[in-house]
Amino acid sequence: MLSPELSARLGELTDLGAAGALLGWDQQTQMPPAGGEARGEVMATIASLGHERLTAPELGTLLDAAEPEDEQDAAIVRVVRRDHEKASRVPAELAREMELASARAHEPWARARATDDFGLFRPFLEKNLELRRRYVDCFEGAEHPYDTLMDNFEPGLTTARVREVFDRLREGLVPLAAEIAAAEPAPVLPGPFPIAGQQALGRDIARSFGFDESAWRIDLAVHPFASSLNPQDVRVTARYTEENLQGIFAVMHEVGHGLYEHQIDPGLARTTLQTGVSLGIHESQSRLWENLVGRSEPFWRHWGPRLRETFGAGIGDCSDAELLRAINTVEPGLIRVDADEVTYSLHVILRFRLEVAMIEGSLAVADLPEAWNAGMQELLGVEVPDDTRGCLQDIHWSFGELGYFPTYAIGNIVAAQLWEALSAAVPDLDDQVAAGEYGTIRDWLREHVHRYGRTVEPTELLERATGQALDPEPLLAQLRVKYGGLYGLAATPGARS
């Protein structure tokens, strides 16, 4: 048992986090537009109270005096101490400056994007970058300055390791995408797909995954996201367009995030460890449900009839095989969030390269558009027509969030590793998916991933769940098998003429 004083402080930090989560969720789903002006300040106040409480010397003293009696309490003390020490290294002045700069950059970024004028955003990105450099300077001993930034999103991951992993990923993905491009293209489902039908189908799929109204909500948002106030108050969002079925996959994705939060050990309640351990592990959960379950052949064996029933004409005269190919269309494109399972990680690799170069100082912000466009040509073979669809497309740099992007590709890799382990543990996995039964998957993920919250570090978690370290091979192998089958590719890359 932790002391009541320490528990009370952790409870307070948790409550501030929940209040901040609600303010953010409301901002994107409920708030009347004119309420936006004041909202930023309310969120900043709650965040800075959280920072104040996290860096309080009294918290350090209580952690030092703690005598944890079991593994869970020991983990709590260890993780909170790390959070406390990290936050305490950053002067309040710099923390505030970073917060302000990221708030101030949002509007110029949005305007730059709307008018395709990178120059409008450039000074704000330069400021964010300068502040991130000063932030990095608060920490010593990192092998690479970018390690310090990544540590906030993926504890334990190094720039050197990401480079290796991403190099291997690129070597596998670029030729695979090229082979698919040379194969017969997937059919395009003609649509339209009425939104009411998508909402009903999305909700029913979400329910089959584990969503239930007693502890979850689903709302509309311009940019879908998942947020949880606690494991019993999970909020996912969706966005639908009549033109395609992306919204349904986005729901599966967000429910995957939600299930992670929902299944964390209730014993971690009112501690800051009752949340996902890293963004990469989190993304592995969303990708697992979206791609490995939701874009699989057995999944559509079950849901295909419902899809045809709902959208009849929108599905055209597709056979089941064509439908599956349509759902798994691969096409190198300009926009990360629209990218398919094969090309997605290439978008991430580009951003990782550019961020590292900017932090190292080898790439000036002024040269970013050119470097972006060259990278898109090299990795995806596409010509970038403007910065709006180029280096201005993502919101992350307006927040100054460097080190975040790699976690998206890490998520794809980890999802494949977990799926491999899950498949080994559950021999009839495909049959269960084909029967619309996901309870075994959910339970396995709870047991091996979710329940731990932040008590087990990401590398250790992966090791325990799969027996392996981070490894891109399962992802590459799975993609090759899946797309090999769908597009009739040769078993060995390059062997097909």
Footprint on this chain of a second copy (rule: CB under 8 A)? 11-12, 15-16, 18-19, 22-23, 26, 30-35, 37-39, 41-42, 44-46, 49, 213-217, 229-230, 232-234, 269-270
Query: Of 40 and 381, which has the nearer Cβ to a second copy?
Result: 40
Paired with 233 in beta bridges are: 230
CA distance 105 to 162: 28
Sole residue written with tokens 């910065």: 387
Residues contacting 471, CB < 8 A, separation 6+: 165, 413, 417
Q: Is 69 a catalytic residue?
A: no
Query: Of 44 and 142, which has the nearer Cβ to a second copy?
Result: 44
CB of 268 to a second copy, least distance (A): 12
CB of 304 to a second copy, least distance (A): 31
CB of 21 to a second copy, least distance (A): 10
CB of 46 to a second copy, least distance (A): 6
For residue 219, give the H/E element and its range: strand 216-220
Residues contacting 67, CB < 8 A, separation 6+: none
Query: Of 33 and 141, which has the nearer Cβ to a second copy?
Result: 33
CA distances from 30 to 27, 38, 118, 188, 258 (A): 6, 15, 31, 35, 19
CB of 414 to a second copy, least distance (A): 29
CA distance 191 to 313: 7
Is the Cα dihedral 484, 419, 436, 329 positive or negative? Answer: negative
Q: How many helices (H) and strands (E) does the chain have?
A: 20, 3
Query: Of 16 and 157, which has the nearer Cβ to a second copy?
Result: 16
Residue among 154, 254, 297, 401 flagged as catalytic: 254
Query: Of 22 and 326, which has the nearer Cβ to a second copy?
Result: 22
Cβ proximity of 478 and 245 under 8 Å: no
CA atoms within 13 A on the CB side of 283: 18
CA-atom Rg of the chain in angstroms:
23
- The conformation of residue 363, written as its DSSP 8-state character, comes to S
CB of 7 to a second copy, least distance (A): 12
CA distance 260 to 253: 11
Task: Give the pair of three-digit tokens for residue 154.
Answer: 């993926």
CA distance 140 to 118: 34
Cβ proximity of 223 and 28 under 8 Å: yes
CB of 142 to a second copy, least distance (A): 34
Query: Of 35 and 305, which has the nearer Cβ to a second copy?
Result: 35
Query: Of 26 and 386, which has the nearer Cβ to a second copy?
Result: 26
Task: Give the pair of three-digit tokens for residue 274.
Answer: 């009752």
Catalytic residues: 254
